[in-house]
Amino acid sequence: MRILHTSDWHLGLSTGPASRAGEQAAFLDWLLLQIDEHAVDVLLVAGDVFDSMHPPAEAQALYYGFLARVAATGLRDVVVVGGNHDSASRLDAPAAVLQALRAHVVGGVPPVDGPRERMIAPLRARGSDEVVAVCLAVPYVHEYRLGVRTSDLDRDRTRADFREAFSSLYSDLADAAEALHPGVPLVATGHLTLGTGSTPDDYPMEIHQVGRLEGLPVAILDPRIRYAALGHIHRAYPVADSVARYCGSPVPYSLTEMSTHRRVLLVDVDPVGAVDVQGLEVPRQRDLLQLVGSPDEVLDQLRDLRWDTPLPPLVHVRVVVPLAEPGLLNRLHEAAATHPLGARPVLVEVQQRAPEADLQHPSAVPPPLESLRPEQVFALICDGRGLQGEDRDRLVAAFNTVASADAATLQAMLDDVYVPPTTPGSAS
């Protein structure tokens, strides 16, 4: 069986005012060609299909249009799982209709003790109805759905509960898959940070993080799993000492992501479970660039920009000035408007400090707010207010738990803590 592993499309994402839909559409067109050229049997999409829980209509059209077109390539099965950016209920809503396109969609995990049969996806080769492998289709899992409660536990106990809950999930699914389809190889998906201490710089925040628990260990994967197709981290790499791999995002969405090639992974699994993995480099449609310096230096760099990609670059500008300069933003945009090839700054940051100090020590400059995720902003607020140690960790953990929960999980949390008034007029 030949599987194509991809993830982290983030359809609907914009960089500043610039939509990335053109690049995403080009990637999906290219992906269709690879599926046909390499005779792919199964497509695995390991989460973060969309960039937000309420994606724009344009992003949804790209997703559903792709699924309609991929069904005509001869591909036998598509497995799509939700990520932490996706709305589980939005992905799950049309699941029955998408089965007609041979797309098996699992947006989220059922509550504790809920039915999990739909997380087992039989896989078939082209032109055959015989099941030759099974996918444990595990989406992003909020620990609350596994019965893990973090509010009153110490760090060591919480870490142990996390490991046990995630390990049990994969083992229980492997047991069920083997009972339904004995003797075939098992593959799995996951949308999480796997490999404690191995998180790369391009995503320094773990999904499953209470205090400083770091990532989940590779031991949570059942030993019967031959390949684990992971999403969430935007760089392609194998997770050390495991069968798991990240394929990374197909489009570079940050300056950091520009430093590594974008890939999808071709995975060949033979009948006894031996696995061979090959990376396919995704053609880049445009570059992300950063221009740093004084106003005059930045203007000169902007005017001299040239490129050889199909689309003009998206330019991050950091202007360093000793004093506030009225009209600076207008000067930058006016200069960009006269560029003969159409280069435009999409993010402009003005740093009011000595240019020499800034340029010699760029790491000392705080990142712009729009580049931070909500959990990072909250952690910075805690640091700014002098919170330290366990008090800080508990508060950050509580925020991360709420911020990463979908609507159904939030309601379940409220049901756990809400006590109705016992007498008329009493406070709730």
Taking the C-alpha atoms of residue 337 and residue 340, their distance in angstroms, rounded to an integer, is: 8
Q: What is the CA radius of gyration of the chain?
A: 24
100 within domain boundaries: yes
One domain for residues 353 and 384: no
What's the pLDDT band for 427 if we cut at 50, 70, 90?
A: very low
Q: What percent of the chain has pLDDT over 70?
A: 83
- Give the dihedral of Cα atoms 18, 21, 26, 32; nearest 10 deg: 160
One domain for residues 168 and 188: yes
Could you report the per-residue pLDDT of 245-255, keeping only the tens digit for each? 999 999 999 98
One domain for residues 316 and 392: no
Structure tokens at 264: 């999808």
What pLDDT is attached to residue 197?
A: 52
One domain for residues 320 and 186: no
426 within domain boundaries: no
DSSP characters over 93-114: TTHHHHGGGTEEEE-SPPPTT-
What pLDDT is attached to residue 365?
A: 52
Could you report the per-residue pLDDT of 370-386, keeping only the tens digit for each? 667 787 788 888 877 87
Taking the C-alpha atoms of residue 6 and residue 191, their distance in angstroms, rounded to an integer, is: 12
Mean pLDDT value of segment 184-188? 96
pTM of the model: 0.81
Could you report the per-residue pLDDT of 259-274, keeping only the tens digit for each? 899 999 999 999 888 9
What count of other Cβ atoms lies within 10 Å of the Cβ of residue 383? 12
Tally of domains in the chain? 3
Residue 284, amino acid? R
Contact 400, 392 (CB under 8 A): no
320 within domain boundaries: yes
Token pair 């620990």: residue: 143
151 within domain boundaries: yes
One domain for residues 236 and 297: no
What pLDDT is attached to residue 295?
A: 82
Query: Is the backbone of residue 114 left (phi > 0), alpha (psi -120 to 50) or beta?
Result: beta
One domain for residues 76 and 17: yes
Structure tokens at 195: 């490999």
Indicate which CATH number applies to the domain containing 148.
Answer: 3.60.21.10
Which range marks the domain in which residue 361 is found?
288-368
pLDDT above 50 for 171: yes
Write down which residue in 349, 368, 387 finishes a domain.
368
Taking the C-alpha atoms of residue 354 and residue 283, their distance in angstroms, rounded to an integer, is: 40
214 within domain boundaries: yes
One domain for residues 305 and 183: no
Structure tokens at 353: 């400090």
Contact 291, 323 (CB under 8 A): no
Contact 328, 349 (CB under 8 A): no
One domain for residues 116 and 31: yes
DSSP characters over 209-274: -STT--SBPGGGS-TTEEEEEEESSSS-EEPTTSSEEE---SS--STGGGGS--EEEEEEE-TT--
Number of continuous H segments (helices) and E segments (strands) in the chain: 11, 17
Q: What share of the chain is helix, strand, coil (3-state, %, to 5)?
A: 35, 20, 40
Taking the C-alpha atoms of residue 191 and residue 138, their distance in angstroms, rounded to an integer, is: 8
Could you report the per-residue pLDDT of 380-426, keeping only the tens digit for each? 888 778 777 767 777 877 787 777 676 666 666 666 555 555 555 54
One domain for residues 362 and 392: no
Contact 254, 292 (CB under 8 A): no
One domain for residues 398 and 355: no
pLDDT above 50 for 357: no
pLDDT above 50 for 358: no
423 within domain boundaries: no
One domain for residues 18 and 99: yes
427 within domain boundaries: no
Structure tokens at 384: 């700014």
Cβ neighbors of 304 (< 8 A, separation 6 or more) are none
**What are the phi and psi torsion angles at 388 (to 5°)?**
-140, 165
One domain for residues 393 and 352: no
Q: Which residues pair with 104 in a beta bridge?
A: 79
- What are the Cα distances from residue 170, in Å, to 165, 186, 220, 232? 9, 11, 7, 18
321 within domain boundaries: yes
Least confidently predicted of 177-186, 242-251, 321-330, 372-381: 321-330
Q: Which runs of E-coded beta strand occur in 353-426? A: none
